[in-house]
Structure 1
């Protein structure tokens, strides 16, 4: 499994691309640095290539945590919104 988040920094529109061969569920979360959940989406079961565009343009400028949870594995990336 590998994933890409682009563009980063972003103006608020960000794409998540996920590449995996086994069937897996994906949960996408965006949190602020205090740990407050600002966005949550459960994608369900996918196989192969998955791409999702998030519109975070209503978020304030700053740095956020993008959390991807797939089959119990958690991956966190910093996401910077610049306006």
Structure 2
């Protein structure tokens, strides 16, 4: 009973990427949204600042909110050619 739960209202694009989110303990939603979730405190707090790194994945009729790892940019390396 002591666990803090967060309400999460999200809208998504056609690929499931979160485009907007309202996250909090007690939210009265007045605007339309695509999905609603109840998350634990750790996930709720992370969503408040990093919602752009989450997406909604559909597994049949069940929607899940999953963390989508940000793309890692490769650092170009110079070829190692021995000097002759």
TM-score, normalisation: structure 1: 0.28
Rg comparison, structure with higher value: 2
Relative contact order: is structure 1 or structure 2 higher (C-alpha 8 Å, sep ≥ 6)?
1
TM-score, normalisation: structure 2: 0.28
More helix as a share of residues: 2
More strand as a share of residues: 1
